[in-house]
Amino acid sequence: DSGVTQTPKHLITATGQRVTLRCSPRSGDLSVYWYQQSLDQGLQFLIQYYNGEERAKGNILERFSAQQFPDLHSELNLSSLELGDSALYFCASSVVTLGTEAFFGQGTRLTVV
């Protein structure tokens, strides 16, 4: 158990819908990362927050947004969903922003039908 909790574990929704994925980082970790993993794209970095502030942005679509709350949990919002958004979405956390290991949650498997 990494100490990172992601909910829900599975999500099936229709195209055009909006969903929210939630991540609770490991106790004491200030940095949260979101990644999308699909068979053809591999593990794509989406966005990183550190202590509530956006730290780095990767290949995140405009239809996607995220935030980190004062209690350090994070949410990833995916809207106007398309079939191609079907993937595993991982959250990871680390103590600081760089130079330390990241701890991954078990992921949310999103299926858009």
Partner 1 sequence: SQQGEEDPQALSIQEGENATMNCSYKTSINNLQWYRQNSGRGLVHLILIRSNEREKHSGRLRVTLDTSKKSSSLLITASRAADTASYFCATDGGYSTLTFGKGTMLLVSP
CA distance 51 to 39: 31
Residue pair 73/31 in contact by the 8 Å Cβ criterion? no
Question: Which C-beta is closer to partner 1: that of 16 or that of 58?
Answer: 58
Question: Which C-beta is closer to partner 1: that of 55 or that of 79?
Answer: 55
CA distance 76 to 54: 13
Tokens of 8: 């829900």
CA distance 31 to 8: 21
Q: Applying CB under 8 A, which part among 20-28, 65-73, 76-84, 95-103 lies near partner 1?
A: 95-103
Residue pair 66/58 in contact by the 8 Å Cβ criterion? no
Tell me how far, at minimum, the Cβ of 39 lies from partner 1, in Å: 10
Tell me how far, at minimum, the Cβ of 16 lies from partner 1, in Å: 26
Q: Which of 19, 32, 92, 112 binds partner 1 (CB under 8 A)?
A: 92
Q: Applying CB under 8 A, which part among 20-28, 48-56, 64-72, 73-81 lies near partner 1?
A: 48-56
